A = this chain, B = another copy of it.
Amino acid sequence: MEIEIAKSYGFCFGVKRAIKIAEENPGSSTLGPLIHNNMEIERLERDFNVSLATSLDDVKDGEATVIRTHGIPKEDLRILKEKGGKVIDATCPFVTKPQQIVEQMSEEGYDIVIFGDVNHPEIKGVMSYATGPVYAVLGVDDVEKLHLKERVALVAQTTRKIEIYNQIVNYLVPRHKEVRVFNTICNATFENQDAARDLAQRADVMVVIGGKQSSNTKQLHSICKSFCKDSYHIESESELRREWFEGKKLCGITAGASTPEWIIERIIGKIREFKV
């Protein structure tokens, strides 16, 4: 039986990259949890001596620190650098980009509207790069309350939905001389779904890996099941059954956004051991 992994699955590009950076910097600490998966955080501590600093106060003077995918506010970066340790920036490039855009648009005199949650670390970081007026909004209702200048620049939190972004754009265009829209939305979740759909259409059996409570994994499983009736949602290799694979030609694999690579590899290894 052939095993094929979906073209896009599991962690997004930015999280994969941050984990790789942490692994390459043993003995460092990460400022905040690198990902929302305790098994993975424990693995990094056990295998790579990468510990967790829950806040800036937790970072010891001279200690190497990894900045996670979300990024951090400009002022926090300054404080971190003052502590004298190596600062390892694992901020996702898709998050660094809106930070840079906000900085530049502020300098060029635009009022800045960020489509995102003012309490989310990513948005706290992005907003901190403004040197002029900057507002975080979650929809048109919030935008209506603002008093904006003639020229407005728009950026979005990477995980937001494009439809609501377009509603905000539609509200602003008739009311302003210039609306400069930067599409900073990242389609990682949709890419995983598209790739799962593509693979499930060709596979005889699909294994969907991720937490049983994970809503994005359940969504992946539901998509796979509609194209391949023999689709199974599992959390670990102990759930695998040899009979699922007997007589099959192609086994497809996908995983939810919070599933570490090593869990996926362990499961693929186990399927190979069945020698079907």
Contact = CB atoms under 8 A, between A and B. Distances in A.
Contact of A181 (B162, B179, B183): B179
A174 B179 CA distance: 15
Nearest to A152: B181
Contacts of A165: 173
A178 B179 contact: no
Contacts of A180: 178-181
A274 interface: no
A249 interface: no
A149 interface: no
Interface residues of A, number: 16
Contact of A183 (B166, B177, B183): B177
Copies in the assembly, this chain = 2
B174 A178 contact: no
Contacts of A181: 169, 173, 178-181
22 contacts: A162-B173, A162-B174, A166-B169, A166-B174, A169-B169, A169-B170, A169-B181, A170-B170, A173-B183, A174-B183, A174-B185, A176-B183, A177-B183, A178-B180, A178-B181, A178-B182, A178-B183, A179-B180, A179-B181, A179-B183, A180-B181, A181-B181
Interface of A: 162, 165-166, 169-170, 173-174, 176-183, 185
